[in-house]
Every structure is written in C-alpha cells, then in structure tokens.
Amino acid sequence: MAVDAIGVSSTSASAVPSNAGIGQDDFLRILLTQLQFQDPLKPTDNQQFVAQLAQFSALEITRQQSEKIDSLLALEGANQALTLMGKTVQTGANHGAAVGTVTAVSFDSGEPLLTVTTPSATLVDVRLADVTLVR
C-alpha cells in the first residue's frame, strides 16, 4: 500500500474488493483536498485538474456500462435456462454424465439452476455450465 502526497492510500487493483470503488463525491473531496494543501508558490495546473475530471468521468461511464452488461448477461442466462424447459439435456462431470429432461428452473442469487429428471434420479441445482448437450 502506498500513500501519496495528500495522505490518500492506494493499493494494487488486485487487492481491492470488487464492490469497493471511488465515487464522484469521493473524487471531488480528494480534488478539494489537493487544492487546499497545494503550495501557493507552485500551484497545480488547471489543465491537469480538468484532465483528471475527464478521466474520472470516463471511468464512471465505463463502470456503469460494465454493470449494465452484467445485468444483460444475467438476463440472457435466465432466458437460456427457461428455453431448456421440457428439453432433453446431458449434464457434465459435476452430476455424472446423465441424460434427462429439464423439469424446473430455479434461481439462486440470480443464477439459474435446473432440475433435470433422469430415468433413475432427479438432479437438482444443475448449473447451465454443467449442461454439455441439448437434444
């Protein structure tokens, strides 16, 4: 962990949790702190602050787009699971190489889980990634 000139600590990107982030209010507080503690004999260039604001705006837009893409992917996974209802599927290694019919779809934290009924057993909580073949 490093500490910059105004006392704000930073860590590597891999050490920061995925839900941790800096918001626009946080960025503006840091910017105001930089302005308060700058050396009056060596003021920071205004263009540098504008560039920082532009970079932060671009990062915020990218973050929002990433969240929307994640939502779209979750919806697409749900749609794929629902289209498998009544179809015969083959499951992979996690449930053994079983062939059966999808009889139900449930959701756990937004992730679709299938119930596959085979001639010998009913497999529950089968993930879409475990489906190796759709017939």
Q: Which residue has the higher pLDDT, 41 or 6?
A: 41
pLDDT score for 112: 92
Give the count of beta carbons closer than 10 Å to the beta carbon of residue 38. Answer: 13
Query: How does strand 131-134 pair with strand 9-10?
Result: unpaired
pLDDT score for 51: 84
pLDDT score for 100: 93
Q: How confident is residue 2, by pLDDT bands cut at 50, 70 and 90?
A: very low
> What CATH code would you report for 45-135?
2.30.30
pLDDT score for 76: 92
Domain locations in the chain? 1-9+21-40, 45-135
Give the count of beta carbons closer than 10 Å to the beta carbon of residue 81. Answer: 21
Q: How confident is residue 20, by pLDDT bands cut at 50, 70 and 90?
A: low
Segment 85-128, tens digit of pLDDT: 999 999 886 667 889 999 999 988 888 999 999 999 888 989 88
Cβ neighbours for 3, distance < 8 A, ≥ 6 positions apart: 9, 10
**Is the four-CA dihedral 90, 95, 97, 101 of positive or negative sign?**
negative
Q: What is the mean pLDDT of the chain?
A: 80
